[in-house]
Structure 1
Amino acid sequence: MDWVITIAAEQDAGEIMTVQRAAYVSEARLYDNTRLSALSEPMEKILESVAAGEVLVAKMGSRIVGAVRGVRKADECHVERLVVAPDMQGRGIGAALLRAVEEHGVKGVRRFVLHTGDRSRANISLYRKVGYTETHREVVGETLSLVYLAKPAE
């Protein structure tokens, strides 16, 4: 493991945005949709999430190579915007970020929930590998269904 996972700081926001956009380009291609919200999320929203303590980052030295958000909603933690820099994918960073957000957001949480598109087979495989199970699917367009997965807090 060449990276360290920490809580994001305000000065990380720009690099988080860069990694997020780079990581979501493959998703945009997969769905033939360049209007994904992750590609156009404003800096203000990222800064809000960072200020709320919801964002964890994976760093190699001073470089951010991944990020994830854990957003507490009642007794659930919604895992959002899990991203890994394209050149760093396949090294276990995504799984490590998932484990870290689960450890970071455990107090009083009943379960962790997330969703991804139905064509995102690599994402679905990763989520299942770390213990998430599918709860349901939702058709949101002619060419897109969202796959919802959950994992109980330990």
Structure 2
Amino acid sequence: MIRIARAEPCDAGEILTVQRAAYVTEAQLYGDPFIAPLIESLERLREVVASALVLKALDGTRIVGAVRGQMQDRTCLVGRLVVAPDRQGRGVGTALMTALEAEAPPEAEEFSLFTGHLSEGNLRLYRRLGYRETRRERVHEHLNLVHLRKKRPT
């Protein structure tokens, strides 16, 4: 049984381990071992956990996933949805996203996120959760970011 809870700064090391494991396949997909989630420092992640809404998915005491939400104006910027490779495809990502949307500050009128154009599993998940593509941004010759948004239900 997966339980979703707020992350604390002491969780940063375990979250970083899950994040790196989860993003290895993305790095391979795009041929870039230096993507931001793989080179993020432990200190930076601790700062994020202390200043943003960061949720963790727990299976017993093991962290098997995480997601971040940061407010910008009236938009909750969703980032770094990660699920341990051995738990992917079992609803952990959906549970984290649903919890983040529910726990976002009341002033959040919409949610915004992005993923890579080749990340079909991510795109399927976000579309299933009601996110709609708003634009594509070419950031490297091998990478286009797909930006998606979702209005908060009233």
Determine the structure 2 residue equivalent to 1:35: 34
Counterpart mapping for 1:5-154 below 5 A: 5-154=4-153
Counterpart code for 2:107:
G
Contact persistence 1:8–1:53 (CA under 8 A): no
2:126, 2:47 → 1: CA distance? 26
Structure 2 unaligned runs (5+)? Answer: none
Counterpart code for 1:6:
A
1:139, 1:14 → 2: CA distance? 32
Structure 1 unaligned runs (5+)? Answer: none
Contact persistence 1:106–1:153 (CA under 8 A): no
Question: Could you tell me how far 1:53 is from its partner in structure 2?
Answer: 4.1
Question: Could you tell me how far 1:106 is from its partner in structure 2?
Answer: 4.1
Number of equivalent positions: 153
Counterpart code for 2:97:
L
TM-score using structure 2 length: 0.97
Identity across the alignment (%): 50
Deviating runs (4+, > 4 A) in structure 1?
none
